[in-house]
Amino acid sequence: MDFEIKKIDEWRFLIPKTGAMRVPGLIFSSSELMPNIKDDQSLQQVVNVATLPGIVKHSLAMPDIHWGYGFPIGGVAAFNMEDGIISPGGVGYDINCGVRLLTTSLLANEIRPRIKELVSVLFKEIPTGVGSRGRIRLSRKEESEVAVQGASWAVKKGMGTKEDLERTEDQGAMKGADPSAVSDRAFKRGHDQLGTLGSGNHFLEIQVVDEIYDKKIASVFNLFEGQLTVLIHTGSRGFGHQICDDFLKEMGTKVKESGFNLPDRQLACAYIKSDMGKKYLSGMACAANYAWANRQIIMHWTIETFEKVLKISPSDLKMELLYDVCHNIAKLETHVVDGKKVALCVHRKGATRSLPPGHPDVPLVYRKVGQPVLIPGDMGTYSYVLAGSQKAMEESFGSTCHGAGRLLSRKQAIKMSKGRAIYREMEDKGIFVQSRGRTTLREEISEAYKDVSLVVETVHMAGLAKKVARFRPLGVIKG
State the catalytic residues: 402
Closest-CA residue to 262 (of 70, 3, 478, 425): 70
- Cα 101–Cα 283–Cα 200 angle in degrees, nearest 5: 45
**Cα–Cα distance, 247 to 453 (Å, whole number):** 36
DSSP character at residue 355: P
Closest-CA residue to 292 (of 436, 131, 88, 155): 155
Closest-CA residue to 305 (of 166, 140, 117): 117
Contact 73, 67 (CB under 8 A): yes
Question: What Rg, from alpha-carbon coordinates, does the chain have?
Answer: 21
The neighbouring-strand residues paired with 348 are: 76, 329
Query: Strand (E) positions, 29-140?
Result: 55-66, 73-80, 85-86, 98-107
- Cα 100–Cα 345–Cα 403 angle in degrees, nearest 5: 35
The neighbouring-strand residues paired with 11 are: none
The alpha carbon dihedral of 357, 362, 368, 371 has a sign of negative
- The amino acid that residue 341 corresponds to is K
Total residue count of the chain as it appears in this document: 479
DSSP character at residue 32: T
The neighbouring-strand residues paired with 341 are: 336
Q: What is the dihedral of CA 94, 22, 331, 70, to 10 degrees?
A: -10
- Cα 36–Cα 449–Cα 265 angle in degrees, nearest 5: 65
Give CA separation, 444 vs 203, 370, 450, 455, in Å.
11, 32, 12, 18
Find the helix or strand (DSSP H, E) in which 384 lies: strand 383-388
The neighbouring-strand residues paired with 66 are: 73
The DSSP result for 123-165, as a single string, is HHHS--STT---S----HHHHHHHHHHTHHHHHHTTSS-HHHH
